[in-house]
Structure 1
Amino acid sequence: MSNLTVETFVLGMEETNCYLLSVDGEAVVIDVGTEPQRLIQRIKELGLKLTGIYITHFHIDHVGGVQELLQECPAPVFISGVDEFMKDLSLEAGGCRELVEFLEFPFEEIAPGRRKVLGHDMLVFDTPGHTPGSLSFFFPAAGCVFVGDLIFMIAVGRTDLPRGSSSELLRSIRSRIFILPDTTRIYSGHGPMTSVIHEKENNPHFVL
């Protein structure tokens, strides 16, 4: 099994981390922030075949560039349908109704479980809290997990947006992320990479 290469692109005004994962000429993308031109350029530069786009949650800063990416690099989009209610909420209410024309892309609902992605096992975890449909993607052989806005270096995701839940978020981190090997690299939706052991020992939401 070939090694998984991970490249990070910080996209848009919100500085959202978008991840390009590749193995032997094939690639998937995890989250697509707004203004994805640099990502598209890199995919073309490397001659990669995009085989999937995986979305951690349906906030505009994580899906705003999907439509533009699909125009240049068609691929199936996988996302939890639980978060689709945000299309009906205004920006003021924490939704994306005013920008919905940028979000009219086809997608397949993805459920928790094991999938084969780029020749690697990928475990899909339901990790609600930031949004009810938030997902995390764990690659055991590569020792990395992509968590969206669930947890950051010495911080956790906000829960004051529609149907967010602080108790669910902390439970998701404890039951899905902190059970992973301590050396697992955590790739968050914003900010630097961290690790399971670093957050267990330093995150103020868990350290007494």
Structure 2
Amino acid sequence: MARLTIETFILGPDETNCYLVSMGGRAVVVDVGLEPDRLIERIDALGLTLEGVYLTHFHMDHIGGVKELLEAHPAPVHASGEDEFLKEFSFEAGGCREFARFIDFPYTPVAPGRRTALGQPLLVLDTPGHTPGSLSYFFPAAGCVFVGDLLFMIAVGRTDLPRGSSPELLGSIRSRIFTLPDDTRVYSGHGPMTTVRHEKANNPHFIF
């Protein structure tokens, strides 16, 4: 049976992790930072058909390259409508108002629940806290979850940007991520991959 292949591209000045998830000549992308040239070149080189783009949240460093990617490989974009308000905030205030030319792309609001991607089951998890619309994407058959800026190796996401909430963020991690199997690989928006087991045992925000 074919297995998901996950490749990481570190994009833009904030070194945002963009994930190319592929299987059998088809692909989806999770988050697209600025300057996605290497991602586009890789999709072209592999001859992949892009079937969708999944966004964890609407901060500029995670969506700034979506429009450029779609120009090369048109595909539906999935994101939470709860983060739409960030388009009205200035960049200094944590929004992306000044970058309308980068973020003027259509998307389909996606609700939490069971979906299918690349012929595999996909569970969309509502994980607010970093932003109110933050989503995580869990592929149970592959044992991996993409969490954006919710959780990092021995760290958690910031909550000082518009409508961020530390209690919500910690609650999302406990109720949505830490309830996944311990060997689930956690792919974050920045930094290295970790696992649910590692974060339960070592993340200082959850060790008392």
TM-score if structure 2 supplies the norm length? 0.99
Instruction: Compute the displacement of 1:92 (Å).
Output: 1.7
Q: What does 1:15-164 correspond to in 2, within 5 Å?
A: 15-164=15-164
2: CA distance, partners of 1:193 / 1:92: 29
TM superposition outliers: structure 1 runs of 4+ over 3 Å:
none
Instruction: Compute the displacement of 1:2 (Å).
Output: 2.0
The DSSP-based 3-state class of the residue aligned with 1:86 is helix
The amino acid across from 1:39 in the alignment is L
Q: CA RMSD in A?
A: 0.6
The DSSP-based 3-state class of the residue aligned with 1:205 is helix
The DSSP-based 3-state class of the residue aligned with 2:34 is coil
Matched, 1:184 2:177: no
2: CA distance, partners of 1:157 / 1:100: 25
The amino acid across from 2:142 in the alignment is A
2: CA distance, partners of 1:169 / 1:108: 24
The DSSP-based 3-state class of the residue aligned with 1:75 is coil
Report the number of matched residues.
Answer: 208
TM-score if structure 1 supplies the norm length? 0.99
2: CA distance, partners of 1:6 / 1:75: 19
Matched, 1:199 2:199: yes
Instruction: Compute the displacement of 1:169 (Å).
Output: 0.1
The amino acid across from 1:101 in the alignment is R
Instruction: Compute the displacement of 1:93 (Å).
Output: 1.4
Instruction: Compute the displacement of 1:198 (Å).
Output: 0.2
Per-residue displacement from partner, 1:122-163 (whole Å, max 9, x unpaired)?
000000000000000000010000000000000000000000
Gaps of 5+ in 1: none
1: CA distance, partners of 2:95 / 2:13: 17
2: CA distance, partners of 1:19 / 1:91: 24
The amino acid across from 2:169 in the alignment is L
The DSSP-based 3-state class of the residue aligned with 1:29 is strand
The DSSP-based 3-state class of the residue aligned with 1:167 is helix
Gaps of 5+ in 2: none
The amino acid across from 2:171 in the alignment is R
The DSSP-based 3-state class of the residue aligned with 2:78 is strand
2: CA distance, partners of 1:91 / 1:31: 18
The amino acid across from 2:195 in the alignment is S
The amino acid across from 1:51 in the alignment is E
Per-residue displacement from partner, 1:56-103 (whole Å, max 9, x unpaired)?
000000000000000001000000011010111111211111112210
Instruction: Compute the displacement of 1:121 (Å).
Output: 0.2
The DSSP-based 3-state class of the residue aligned with 2:84 is helix
The amino acid across from 1:126 in the alignment is D
